[in-house]
Amino acid sequence: TQLLEQSPQFLSIQEGENLTVYCNSSSVFSSLQWYRQEPGEGPVLLVTVVTGGEVKKLKRLTFQFGDARKDSSLHITAAQPGDTGLYLCAGVRSGNTPLVFGKGTRLSVIA
Amino acid sequence: EPEVTQTPSHQVTQMGQEVILHCVPISNHLYFYWYRQILGQKVEFLVSFYNNEISEKSEIFDDQFSVERPDGSNFTLKIRSTKLEDSAMYFCASSFRDAYSSYNEQFFGPGTRLTVL
């Protein structure tokens, strides 16, 4: 069974601070996707990383895929209250196989 | 922007009753999935569907579950005899991947909250 461990589980920070959340596994994934989920809603895709070492930026969010394609990180610069939510990483083993999700990091940004 | 839609948003049923959850995937997508999320837990895979047949299913997807694509647009999940532990959010997802795509991005619907009493 492939597991994705996300850390920290909970994070509460002040507006304007920077933060990094992590997604780690002992298994290799062909791609890894980051989602954001609001309470009572479905996961919304933020980004997909595919190549080992790849870095993608989405405004103040920076996503990195580990060189060995076993881990990933999400860095948020100058966090805002609108960034509050549950951030999920999900990996694909190969092809069209189903996503394996982590438990998520619940972020709270306080104004 | 195209999106996955699901109905109903909330379904309440009595234990032992049958329920059918409905999904309309993004129109040009080829692969369809059902996932569930029990309150406070992580999203879990149930089943994937491609070319009018199940391509993969998890241990959760037992004989009580079935999926169908009755027409060119709908994708349904049926639970024949619901149990208390089936209470969860059920998410439909779809993806498009052809021979030229190197990866598979899955887009999720808003979910159906199933409550079994």
Predicted local confidence at residue B1, as pLDDT: 77
A47 touching chain B per CB within 8 A: no
Mean pLDDT, range A20-42, rounded to an integer? 94
Q: Which of B41, B103, B108 sits opposite A50 (nearest CB)?
A: B103
Mean pLDDT, range A53-61, rounded to an integer? 96
Please give the interface size between A and B, counted as residue pairs whose CB atoms are below 8 Å apart: 68
Residue B99 has pLDDT above 80, yes or no: no
Predicted local confidence at residue B70, as pLDDT: 86
Cβ pair B26, B105 in contact under 8 A: no
Cβ pair B39, B102 in contact under 8 A: no
Q: Which of B42, B50, B95 sits opposite A103 (nearest CB)?
A: B42
Which of chain A's residues have a Cβ under 8 Å away from the Cβ of B26? Answer: none
Q: How does residue B102 score in pLDDT terms, banded at 50, 70 and 90? A: low
Predicted local confidence at residue B112, as pLDDT: 98
CA distances from A27 to A4, A103, B46, B76 (A): 9, 16, 21, 32
Strands (E) located in A38-80: 44-49, 55-58, 61-65, 71-76
Residue A60 has pLDDT above 70, yes or no: yes
Between CA A111 and CA A15 the distance in angstroms is 5
Which residue on chain A is closest to B107 by alpha carbon?
A45
Mean pLDDT, range A93-107, rounded to an integer? 89
Q: Which of A57, A68, A60, A47 is nearest to A19 (CA)?
A: A60
Cα of A41 to nearest chain B Cα, Å: 5
Predicted local confidence at residue A1, as pLDDT: 57
Residue B43 has pLDDT above 70, yes or no: yes
The residues, any chain, with a CB within 8 Å of residue A64's CB and separated by 6 or more, are A49, A53, A54, A55, A56, A72, A73, A75
**Mean pLDDT score of chain A, rounded to an integer?**
94
A102 touching chain B per CB within 8 A: yes
Chain B residues 2-61 with a CB less than 8 Å from chain A: 4, 6, 31, 33, 35, 41-45, 48, 50, 55-56, 58
Neighbours of A83 (CB within 10 A): 18
Cα of B21 to nearest chain A Cα, Å: 15
Chain B residues 82-101 with a CB less than 8 Å from chain A: 89, 91, 93, 95, 97
What Rg do the C-alpha atoms of chain A give, in angstroms?
Answer: 13
